[in-house]
Amino acid sequence: MSPRTTGQIHIIGAGLLGTSIGLALTKLGIDVSISDASPANQLLAIDFAAGRKLVEGDDVSVVVVCVPPDVTAKTVIGALKDFPTAIVTDVASVKSTVLAELKSNTADTSRYVGSHPMAGREKGGTLAGRADLFVGRPWVMAVEEKTDSAAAQKIEQLALDLGSTPIRMSAQEHDHAVALISHTPQIISSLLAAQLSIAEDKDLSLSGQGLRDTTRIAASDPSLWLQILSANSAELLPVLKNFDKDLEQVIAALEQVGTSGSLAKLGKVLEAGNQGIARLPGKHGSTNTSYAQVVVMIDDKPGELARLLTEIGQAGLNVEDLKLDHASGAQVGLVELSVLPNIEEKLTSTLRTNGWRLAG
């Protein structure tokens, strides 16, 4: 598959997004250079195969600015100056504030296209980078009246090369949408997890998957999210206030359990939740969907996992991902193997033949 993107791509910022873009483009055979304010991060990203060092005489075609939101505009302005013929994009989670700062600095935005890949992990940093981070994800091109169409197309082709679906909308439309589908879930998840910080150990010992899923993103970096949330407060506030209004109705209903109509109000919220879920578009390319999962129970003793993997290797079978969980009390470990669907049957029969216990 030959990539649509041509020329050298320079990435500024070797965090999760910058590293992931670098890994993916490098894999496609594109010439990628990557830099970071931290020399250690930059070295790590290069060692990680996310790109090479930028050198004198490089002819950069596109600059991708992947730095924290509060320094994005400044870095874009610098990039427009340092790379006078390149198209410059950024990947910050809020688009209006970046655009306003560029305008107030009278930056020449004809070569600038703001963008935002709707991809991320609760872990950040260079080592969290993944070439497939963007596969199947929407990538917003924040296109304004003054945006050069050829420049926007160039960034769209880059997004397509990374497996994303480019979506055009204005910076304001983008910020309105992410307030609902990204920033509100972040705040709510953090608020929910915050309730756990004051709980007793005994209560937490019962935690299950529902709690884990609803609070997963509460593990995200507070300083990054402070920047995002405060930059988008205008769009965020109406959604949070509506949530608050609904929550207070639920509280009122629960305070009147037994009186007529109270259950109906509570039921309406639960049903609205069902309806909301149903409106979510099909899952965007999570890697899990393409793999078959085989769960093996192993004895909780040294060497068992190595033995399992050695036998799988001897059978010529490739494991794409692996997760080990100890089922405490049960004296067994559960190994979740993710494999390509076409080898699932061979894997399960091999394991059964060799005497392994498969779960489910």
Residues 232-291 close enough to bind its own copies by CB under 8 A: 233, 236-237, 239-244, 246-248, 250-251, 254-255, 257, 262-263, 266-267, 269-288
Segment near its own copies (CB under 8 A); pick from 77-85, 106-114, 145-153, 156-164 = 156-164
Nearer to its own copies, 55 or 278 (CB): 278
- Find the part of the chain contacting its own copies (CB under 8 A) among 47-55, 71-79, 147-155, 342-350: 47-55
Q: Looking at beta carbons only, is 8 or 215 nearer to its own copies? A: 215
Binding mask 331-360 for its own copies (x = CB under 8 A): xx-x------------------------xx
The distance of Cα 113 from the centroid of its chain, to the nearest Å, equals 21
Site for its own copies contains 164 (CB under 8 A): yes
Gap between the Cα atoms of 347 and 240, Å rounded: 48
Amino acid at 284: H
The verdict on 309 binding its own copies (CB under 8 A) reads: yes
Distance of alpha carbon 163 from alpha carbon 150, whole angstroms: 20
Q: Which of 80/119 has CB closer to its own copies? A: 119
Helix, strand, coil tally for the chain in percent (to 5): 50, 15, 30
Q: Which of residues 199-228 bind its own copies (CB under 8 A)?
A: 199, 201-220, 222-223, 225-226
Structure tokens at 47: 């060692």
Tell me which DSSP letter residue 122 carries.
S
59 binds its own copies (CB under 8 A): no
The answer to whether residue 186 forms part of the interface with its own copies (CB under 8 A) is yes
Torsion of CA 197, 199, 200, 201, to 10 degrees: -50
The residue among 37 and 226 lying less far from its own copies, judged by its C-beta, is 226
**CA torsion, points 87, 88, 90, 94, in degrees to nearest 10?**
-90
Q: Residue 82 Cβ, how far from its own copies at the closest point, in Å?
A: 27
The piece of 9-17, 70-78, 85-93, 125-133 that touches its own copies (CB under 8 A) is 125-133
In terms of phi and psi (left: phi > 0; alpha: psi -120 to 50; beta: otherwise), the region of 7 is left
CA–CA separation, 23 and 45 (whole Å): 9
Assign 125 to helix, strand or coil.
coil
Q: How big is the site for its own copies, counted in residues (CB under 8 A)?
A: 146
Least separation in angstroms between residue 242's CB and its own copies is: 6
Cβ contact 17:117 at 8 Å: yes
